[in-house]
Amino acid sequence: MASAQLSLAQVPGAGAGSSSATLPSLGDNSELSAAAERRIGDRIAVSIYRDPDYMDDPVLGDYLQSIWQPLMAAARARGELNAELEERFAWEVFLVRDRSINAFALPGGYFGVHLGLIGAVSSADEMAAVLAHELSHVTQRHISRLMTQQSRQAPWMIAAMILGALAASKSPNAAGAAIVGGQALAAQGQLNFSRDMEREADRVGFGVMGDAGYASSGVANMFEKLQQAARLNDNGSFPYLRSHPLTTERIAEAQARAQLAPATKLSGDSQAERGKAQLLHAMMAARARVLAAPGVDGLRAMVSEARQRAATPSPLQAPASAANIRDAGALYAGALASAQLRDFAAARSFLAPLKPLTAEGQRASQTLELLAVEIDLQAGVVPPSAASLDLAKASTRAEVLTQARSLMAAQRAPEVSSRLQSWVASHPRDALAWQLLAVAYGKQNQSVRAIRADAESRAAQLDYPAALDRFKAAQALMRSNPGSADYVEGSIIDTRARQMDLLIKEQALQDKVDR
Ligand SMILES: [Zn+2]
């Protein structure tokens, strides 16, 4: 979203208006091909996966997906997202452990969301407003048009430049990541979206989020929040807003759009649904604030807030009242923060008052169950729920992976590997699942399979040389110990090793062509 140092181009010191004069007009077709854009995106993704601030949190990931998938469906139905682009691009949303309020679109359909953004927005509607705007920059091919301007530069150079801009947009107090080179920094600022592009992303994004069922007031609320946050924190973590000339105009446009949109009258049922959604959001925002590593003092403040709430709970209402929603957020944050401070008794003490608050909503109560398991696992005990666990019934990614961990703690590795095997068959790019599968095989002394699963987790993160190394290690182990794998396993490994080899060669060749 542009007006908050969001978007790949939110680079310090560069006014958005400055680039519009040199841009091809909207609608002409001097675009980078989708395949070429994806290649650049993949290069950037490889670096991001290795960045210590890249974060794969299945609980927050599922939450983002629950907002993202309806937006994708709406964009598809409106004809903004065509079949070719959908097939070519990654459409992957990832989390960045950073307290600044930021989200950005990258080439090839990769999207980054800072934990600070999830922690700051007050509803799924606001989150949807940001994501729909970013999604629209990509479906409208704004990025490809910007990169066409850079066509004299090699893709690796563009990728380096974008990585530099990304590093520069991080909050100065976030854990430092070394993904930036001097050259990249020097070149930053050249990928700013133009005013027209921002307007178009606002307009298209607004339609997409409305069709996906989100309240249109989310956009204006979000803009105001970002402006306010920037005023409060004028310490360099909002470089984009300081130089952005469009904010007032964009807020006014967003408000006008929201007023023109047909007013939706909430029925009793949808009011109840809204209450449930708000409660879930409060818990997810709390999770984001804890995982953003606010430091010991920050965690302690969350714990003491939770203590107060637990001591004086608001009366339970259905649909959840604003006070109930605040309680749920505070208790969730207190539980997770206590666990991070390794005070597991305190962490568990917040679960009981949280339970009645989440009883109404299926997703909220499932979230609470996962939190209980997470606390046990962090405490190093086998979660009591593991005794009755049927991993075959787990459906969401967070459930599958969290329950797999709990069964592993209960020494039931064979069940874990059989469930994860079918999971990765349908989710081959799930690096975390492959890693867990490697551990599960390791516990069963199935070394070749463990190494192969490890190799697949590298391949899933596009690190083909590392994957090839491991496939070769698996081959070596099979040669030295012929009984260590069966024929099928062996031929899969041989095939995958050849594929990795080919991918590496293709990439090297592409480098020459692109250069
Ligand atoms: Zn934007």
Asked if residue 245 has pLDDT above 70, the reply is no
In 232-311, which ranges are E strands? none
Asked if residue 153 has pLDDT above 60, the reply is yes
Asked if residue 9 has pLDDT above 80, the reply is no
Give the model's pLDDT for residue 241: 44
Rounded to the nearest angstrom, the distance between the alpha carbon of 349 and the centre of ligand 1 is 43
Where residue 357 falls (left for φ over 0; alpha for ψ -120 to 50; beta otherwise) is alpha
Rounded to the nearest angstrom, the distance between the alpha carbon of 186 and the centre of ligand 1 is 22
Rounded to the nearest angstrom, the distance between the alpha carbon of 193 and the centre of ligand 1 is 7
Rounded to the nearest angstrom, the distance between the alpha carbon of 261 and the centre of ligand 1 is 21
Q: Which of helix, strand or coil describes residue 89?
A: coil
Rounded to the nearest angstrom, the distance between the alpha carbon of 355 and the centre of ligand 1 is 39
Where residue 342 falls (left for φ over 0; alpha for ψ -120 to 50; beta otherwise) is left
Whether the ω angle into residue 319 lies within 30 degrees of 0, i.e. cis, is: yes
Average pLDDT of the chain? 84
Asked if residue 386 has pLDDT above 60, the reply is yes
Rounded to the nearest angstrom, the distance between the alpha carbon of 196 and the centre of ligand 1 is 10
Lowest mean pLDDT among 202-216, 298-312, 344-358: 202-216
Give the model's pLDDT for residue 3: 34
Rounded to the nearest angstrom, the distance between the alpha carbon of 191 and the centre of ligand 1 is 12
C-alpha 117/C-alpha 254 separation (Å) is 19
Higher-pLDDT residue of 233, 402? 402
C-alpha 288/C-alpha 166 separation (Å) is 20
Asked if residue 103 has pLDDT above 90, the reply is no
Rounded to the nearest angstrom, the distance between the alpha carbon of 133 and the centre of ligand 1 is 6
Tens of pLDDT, residues 16-73? 333 333 333 334 445 678 988 899 899 999 999 999 999 999 999 999 999 999 999 9
Rounded to the nearest angstrom, the distance between the alpha carbon of 5 and the centre of ligand 1 is 9
- When pLDDT is cut at 50, 70 and 90, the band that residue 151 belongs to is low
Secondary element (H or E) of residue 110: strand 110-114
C-alpha 404/C-alpha 417 separation (Å) is 9
Rounded to the nearest angstrom, the distance between the alpha carbon of 287 and the centre of ligand 1 is 26
Rounded to the nearest angstrom, the distance between the alpha carbon of 333 and the centre of ligand 1 is 31
- When pLDDT is cut at 50, 70 and 90, the band that residue 181 belongs to is very low
**Listed residues: CB within 5 A of ion ligand 1:** 2, 7, 198, 201
Asked if residue 173 has pLDDT above 70, the reply is no
Asked if residue 336 has pLDDT above 90, the reply is yes
Share of the chain above pLDDT 90, in %: 58
Give the model's pLDDT for residue 170: 64
- When pLDDT is cut at 50, 70 and 90, the band that residue 272 belongs to is confident
- When pLDDT is cut at 50, 70 and 90, the band that residue 182 belongs to is very low
- When pLDDT is cut at 50, 70 and 90, the band that residue 286 belongs to is very high
List, in sequence order, the alpha helices (H) in 380-514.
397-409, 413-426, 431-443, 447-460, 464-480, 487-514
C-alpha 375/C-alpha 332 separation (Å) is 11
Crossing angle for the helix pair 431-443 and 413-426, to the nearest 10 degrees = 150
From the CB of residue 130, how many other CB atoms can be counted at a distance below 10 Å? 29
